[in-house]
Structure 1
Amino acid sequence: MTETAVETAAHGVALTQAATDKVRSLMSQEGRDDLRLRLAVQPGGCSGLIYQLYFDERVLDGDVSVDFGDGVEVVVDKMSVPYLDGASIDFEDTIEKQGFTIDNPNAEGSCACGDSFN
């Protein structure tokens, strides 16, 4: 992780300042202020579970939502919360890597490609 988490919320997911800035920038590019960043865990991949990270305009029954300020909100569904408690979302923009990364202390292992975890 290149930066420390700026806030850990009720759903236990933290967002670094770099990730917060990138989310805000992407929402601005879309010209929308009704989107939330949704993080979910779904069955799949080589190791059993995969992350889903996307913008969503919906808030579903049981969702836990935390406002990180300036219109940046992270939503986690109630089934994913236990898998994500203590996780941190970061954004990297280097020659080696560009994109969002998720550091999850609950992941016991991952597949060789790094796309799934258990």
Structure 2
Amino acid sequence: MIQITDNAAKQIHKMLAKRSRGERGLRLGVKSGGCSGFEYVFGWEAAPRQDDAVFEAADGATVFVDPKSLRILDGTVLDYDTSLLSKGFLLENPQATSTCGCGVSFSV
């Protein structure tokens, strides 16, 4: 399960409203890479793929996750940071055992 915070849901809606390609949800995934072994990947899609898990916030913001990534992302909280120092999606992943110094990659 992926939990979508109110801040993340608002940002998903805001970003989708600026797009004109028919995207209706945020794709969240994991790929091999980085200095710690895995990296998060984000994208926009019009519909989920056949085997995707679909997570929906209370306001209808939708996140699509493929089955392989879900094994690593299960229990993750998707948030959006609006601090003065940075803006962007944040993932609190209970499966991650460590992250690299730059915060881009992680290990499980």
TM-score (norm 1): 0.82
Aligned residue number for residue 44 of structure 1: 33
Unaligned stretches of 5+ in structure 2? none
Q: Which string of whole-angstrom CA distances, capped at 9 and with x for unpartnered residues, describes residues 37-95 of structure 1?
A: 11101100000000002212242231111222444111000101110111011111111
Unaligned stretches of 5+ in structure 1? 1-11
CA distance in structure 1 between the aligned counterparts of 2:56 and 2:20, rounded to whole angstroms: 19
The letter of the residue matching 1:21 is K
2:24 aligned with 1:35: yes
Within 5 Å, which residues of 2 pair with 1:94-105?
94-105=83-94
CA distance in structure 1 between the aligned counterparts of 2:101 and 2:7, rounded to whole angstroms: 26
CA distance in structure 2 between the aligned counterparts of 1:65 and 1:29, rounded to whole angstroms: 22
Question: What root-mean-square deviation, in Å, do the aligned CA atoms of Structure 1 and Structure 2 show?
Answer: 1.6
Instruction: Say which of 90, 107, 110 aligns to 2:96.
Output: 107
Larger deviation: 69-78 or 28-37? 28-37
Shift of 1:96: 1.5
Within 5 Å, which residues of 2 pair with 1:9-20?
12-20=1-9
SS of aligned partner of 2:71: helix
Shift of 1:32: 5.8
Q: Which runs of 4+ in 1 moved over 6 A?
A: none
Identical-residue share of aligned pairs (%): 32
Larger deviation: 28-37 or 17-26? 28-37
Instruction: Say which of 89, 93, 102 aligns to 2:78.
Output: 89
TM-score (norm 2): 0.89
CA contact (8 A) 1:33 1:71 kept: no
